[in-house]
Amino acid sequence: MRWEKDGLAVEVLFSRAGLATQILVRIDDLNLLFDAGDGALRDLLRKGLPPQRLHGVFFTHGHADHIAGLYGLLGYLRAEDHRGLLKVWYPEGSKEIETILETFRRCYRGTIPFQVIAHPLKDGETIFLGKASVLARSVKHWNSIKGRPLTPAPAMGYRVEFRGFKVAISGDTAFCPSLIELVRGTDLALIEATLNEEATNDQKTFLHLTQIKARELGQLAKQFWLIHVSM
């Protein structure tokens, strides 16, 4: 899936619930990854875009299917003697992401040629990247085992704006009011659609959107794609 308008390009490199999600957003010559699940490095290299050309990664939350590729990206950059910067934005309190970064630093202290700038995000924070901006909004996505919600997870959806064009990325989320604000009026919305109608009320309330709910939300955007569907 690929979309492009006036220097803003969006491509879903891969997205399946529980497996991996990685979305490439290019803003002129700025390359951003939204989530880096398993295979993110492979998917980037296959596109002819080595991670050295990544400006940074925005994580929606710390679950494995969204972060498992982070360590691979870091290791590759080190092995390639990358001398630049990698920015990592993530929802404040995502222990998983902070632990991966810390583990990498601890294993290779003194021999990491590039700099990682970690930036925990608060609800409503906007990151300005040249003429583009990325708004972060908290969404509702709990930790779970086998579809059983356990505890709330720090989770965010994003809204990218550039030259008047707007793109929303829902992240993993059950229905919540901030989703309407993120998606309404966008040119393209990437909306998670993990559940089918047979899902339990708990799953619908705390974990994910159903395909029907995701489509309903998509009507608020000019165009929408359903992502993060179940295998």
Residues that bind Zn ion (CB under 5 A): 65, 172
Q: Is the Cβ of residue 65 or residue 96 nearer to Zn ion in the bound state?
A: 65
Per-position b or e across 98-115, b if 16+ CB within 10 A of its CB: bebbeebeeeeeeeeebe
| Shortest spacing between CB 63 and Zn ion, in angstroms | 5
Contact 192, 167 (CB under 8 A): no
Q: Is the Cβ of residue 161 or residue 172 nearer to Zn ion in the bound state?
A: 172
| Shortest spacing between CB 80 and Zn ion, in angstroms | 29
| Shortest spacing between CB 13 and Zn ion, in angstroms | 15
Reduced to 3 states, what is the DSSP secondary structure of residue 82?
A: coil
| Shortest spacing between CB 171 and Zn ion, in angstroms | 8
Q: Is the Cβ of residue 71 or residue 114 nearer to Zn ion in the bound state?
A: 71
Residues 6+ apart with CB under 8 A from 168: 157, 158, 159, 160, 182, 183, 186, 188, 189, 190, 191, 221
List beta partners, residue 189. Answer: 168, 224
Residues 6+ apart with CB under 8 A from 21: 14, 15, 35, 37, 65, 66, 227, 228
Q: Is the Cβ of residue 91 or residue 166 nearer to Zn ion in the bound state?
A: 91
Q: Is the Cβ of residue 132 or residue 154 nearer to Zn ion in the bound state?
A: 154
| Shortest spacing between CB 6 and Zn ion, in angstroms | 30
Report the C-alpha dihedral over residues 1, 139, 26, 121, rounded to 10 degrees: -160
